[in-house]
Structure 1
Amino acid sequence: MVFLPLFIISTRVFGQIWTVFYKTTSVCALNGSTVNMSCSYTYPQQYKLTDTFWMLGVEIKSLKEYPKYKDRVEYIEDRQKQTAVLRLHNITNNDERVYFFRLVTDTVGQKWIGQPGIQLKVSALQVKAPQLVLEKERVNLTCESTCSLTDAFIWYKNGQALKIQNKTLQLQSERSDSGRYSCAVRGHEDLPSPAVSVNVMYPPLNTSVSISPSEIVEGDSVTLICSSDSNPPALNFSWFKENQSSAVGSGQSFIISSFNSSHSGRYYCEAQNQHGSQRSASVSVSVKGDWDILYIIAVCVTSAIIVGCGLLFLIIIIVHKRTKKSNNDSKDTEQKKTSAGKASESRDAENASAQDDRDTDTKKPEAEEIAYASITFHHPANEAKSAASQDMDVSVIYSGIR
């Protein structure tokens, strides 16, 4: 609402004062809302006040006498405090008038109309938005009215309240921002502005190709369909076959009426609108037989690779085990040679000792039995001696005895 300086209109009649005091001379309210217009007054006390009412400037009669006002008007008055309020419901643009307060007494000619009255202005909210919104472009939506209103605004998108409470709504123009926007004044949520559409424009996205039928037999009619997500929808479509320099077709659908092996290959499409274009991924198109052969070849090659890898792995394991066993055998042989050498040295030492003993026995015949027994039981573990060594030892012993 707009509040202007206070006005007091008064006059002196026969030494007494008539006064009508309007709190404001201009009121702005939303279309469809309820508005209050108020004043206070004084009059000469020697007269008796018989009637008060609100009127238009056209003719002197109460608003309640007008058909278009009678069901929408309330007079709220306190004669002791000498205040009056005009309450007007469901206002429209046709209610934009000047309203006056009138006092009537029981004395002829003693009546009064308060000047200058109150000017009512009816405001309609509207959303101001650009007609063209491009993706990623910052855009401001403004809630406007024909007169100054409170700064507490509410914004709606598709009928759902948003958290923004400013007069201006700022968008980053994502695709999800498309929708219908309206605004309202806090406290008058039931009187929103007309909704306006915001369409975020963007180039084709998610372009793809579908094939019908999915399994192709030679001679079939094959249809390729290009699909994309864009705003506005893409209208220009071009078709390409890999390894060919120029387009092979146009339109959202590309039809090959009688498909044969010469048509086999990889195809892709390009969708375009006024904001850009996008190419789809390539798709393979061929007759079912060709695919069967390729499938068999692929399976055979894959199987051969798997079997070859398995055999190679097995060979590696076998070679590793054999190498490990050979190394172990070499170590065992070396250990045996070392043990045999040590045993041979031990035997030589024992033989030398035995020879010394035999020499001693030759000098001392009385010790024959003891030497023999000693030689027989001193080495019970010499079963590993060679036959030649044993014969030599026996012959030596017996020669000593004789």
Structure 2
Amino acid sequence: MDPAVFPLVLLTCLTLFTVLETQSITALYGETIVIPCNGGNPPPEDLVFIKWIYKRDDGTTGDLLIKQIDSEQATVQAIDEYARRVSISDTFSLLISQASLKDQKVFTCMLVSVSANQEYSSNVIVQKAPSSVQIFDTSEALQKDKLTIVGTCVVADSNPAADISWKKSGNLLVSDGKAVVISSSFKLNPATGLSTTTSTLQYAAAKEDSDAVFTCISTYNRTNKDVDLKPFPIYYPSEKASLQILSKEPIVEGSNVTLKCHGDGSPPPSSFFFYKKGVKELVENSNTYILTSIGRDAAGEYKCSLADDEKIMASKHIVVNYIDLTVSLTGRTVKKLGDVLPVKTEMNTSGNATVTWIKNGVKVKEPQFNSLTYADAGVYICKVSMSGLTEQRRFELVVEGKPWIINLRKHIMDRSQVLICEANAVPEPRFEWSIGSKTEDSFNYTDGKAVSKITVVPEGNLTVSCTVTNSYGEDVKTIDLYPEPSGNSSDHIKLIAVGLVVGLVSLAAVAGLAFCLRRKSRRQGSWSTRERNTGTPEENETLQHHNI
């Protein structure tokens, strides 16, 4: 077609267009908008050219581009910002790059053919998902029964505007103007046309909400995006106080006692009044009060209260355990054998107590010394126990007196004999033996018991005395010694036995012979020396030998 004729034909064709129903096209922000010309259907076979126009905000029409069928390239007619953004596809769809909210207009495709002229209009809607969902201005803690801001949820740069809702531990919160207040608003960016939605949640918490998780839910195009907040501490004032005794029980006199006061508020109170015997003392930035070296007079009721509310108070009764113990004997006591020694014990305790006496590490009865013996000497401990508290007193008893020999014995070793003399004596004694200048083999003295040993080889029967002497007197005992035969004592016993047997056999033979001769004389009658020759020579010799 002649270019000079084309404007006249176009003017004629524009008056003969058939306008079809407008369709809606949804595009994504920042992407390329694709607007089909005729719903995507093939163009007429006698198509001459295609023209794209749009409707400006003031109601006027703006040209975008035109494409003749017999031309490979489209001619961009736009002179505004669309001049660099519009193009046409092979299917004659209008392409608009870098979609923005300003592109939300009506775009029209004009088909000019030999047989008919048609218009296809499309209303473009540009959508944008929120760029971010964030929570700002959160509180450090929530107040019990008091509206407190949980946080402000902001959903930025979307089109259309996003919806915001709140949940607590998965349950949807509904504003009731009392315990839950939700305030929402949105703001349009004049430069981009995008909307920012804001929602602020105020909540009056309960103690049970200390583990609650609050969630902001952004809903855009039927899609949710959640942002959780960490659980808040719940602040509330103390309603009651409690007082603890941290020291190990039972409390004993002289120990340190720590009192600790608690308030059930959140956060817990940090300053308290402590009342000691009616005297009030303020302790700041601490909840403990220490009683040092507590005495029995400190027993009684103790109280504490909150520094900012003295009506909230708690109390505890303290019992101080003590033992007073006195024993009449102390240290080292030296007494004489046979003395009377009274032992007096006095005690005063805060409760029922158990008394135990121990002598030289062994439990004994309470000592009563009516007549002291050496056996009474030793180390005594009186122990009084009560509820984890123990007191004890110790004394050492030394009993002195003249020696007392408790044993004098001998031990035979071949021909020698070991003499052992044992005696009780305090102070330490000395030993004397009645055997010339014989010296001791050994001497030992331990805990009032003395032992002396000597070795003796007696030549004959001998009586030996042991004399034990100290500053209080002496004691003497004797023992008889007999010489031992040489050789082995068992061989000696055997020789004695053999001698006895031989002697008995000889006596038996003599007795038998005499018996036989007496019987013979009875048969033959009496006889005299004159008749001796009448016997046999053997009989006569036997009688002479035995003087019969």
Q: Give the shorter-chain TM-score range.
A: 0.3 to 0.5
Q: Which has the higher strand share?
A: 2
The structure that is helix-richer by fraction is 1
Q: Higher relative contact order by CA 8 Å / sep ≥ 6: 1 or 2?
A: 1
The normalised TM-score by structure 2 is: 0.32
TM, length-normalised to structure 1 = 0.42
